[in-house]
Chain A
Amino acid sequence: DQQVKQNSPSLSVQEGRISILNCDYTNSMFDYFLWYKKYPAEGPTFLISISSIKDKNEDGRFTVFLNKSAKHLSLHIVPSQPGDSAVYFCAASSYNQGGKLIFGQGTELSVKP
């Protein structure tokens, strides 16, 4: 039972355009959602997060949107840069369940110059 799903294994975007990465979840107990970026041979790096009491959080070029009724979140990167090319993982947790992260399978983003 996969509680967090990223249905697109890969995404290719032109430099300067918007990248939109999507994530769906099934567990309504999740109250905290995160996006991590991962380069090869490195650990996941925290990018941005959102609490379930919000529907949007913005940090520079990165914005995360949360739609609780649809159990859906998305990460927008504007404008996309070649250095953004990496695997992006969506993760979710519930404080009442110990804060352990449940990860999606990842989406590999390629930003082409």
Chain B
Amino acid sequence: DARVTQTPRDKVTEMGQEVTMRCQPILGHNTVFWYRQTMMQGLELLAYFRNRAPLDDSGMPKDRFSAEMPDATLATLKIQPSEPRDSAVYFCASGLDTSNQPQHFGDGTRLSIL
């Protein structure tokens, strides 16, 4: 079964450090989504791409977060500088840009900012 791959699985770092999370979408999928899961907010959308072009990043704190797709096999989410409130599980999902197609999720990056 094709899967979305996320690295690293876990990341612990100190406040102020740069964090980079990576995602390899399923081959052939042309939409990529970044979600964040916290106890308070549940699963919330941060940003998404279609054919590598950013479509919506309104869910991201833009002063510190950035999302890119350098190529069709890699999506990145960066936080600089990181803050304790960024601690969460970050999920990447990919899908096909046609109606009624589900997104498929990776296993997430568990981020802890001390």
* Complexed CA–CA distance, A36 and B35 (Å): 14
Chain A interface size range: 20 to 34
Complex-state Cα separation, A45 to B93, whole angstroms = 10
Chain B contact residue count (CB 8 A cutoff): 28
A: residues with CB less than 8 A from B are 31-32, 34, 36, 41-46, 49, 51, 89, 95, 98-106
| Contact count A vs B, C-beta below 8 Å | 60
- Inter-subunit contact A43/B108 (CB<8 Å): yes
A46 with B103: CB separation less than 8 A? yes
| 0/1 string, B93-114, CB within 8 A of A gives 1 | 1010101111111111010000
* Contact call A98/B100, Cβ cutoff below 8 A: no
Given pairs A32-B100, A45-B105, A99-B99, 13 additional interface contacts (CB within 8 A): A41-B110, A43-B91, A44-B105, A46-B102, A51-B99, A98-B50, A100-B33, A100-B56, A101-B43, A101-B45, A101-B103, A103-B35, A105-B42
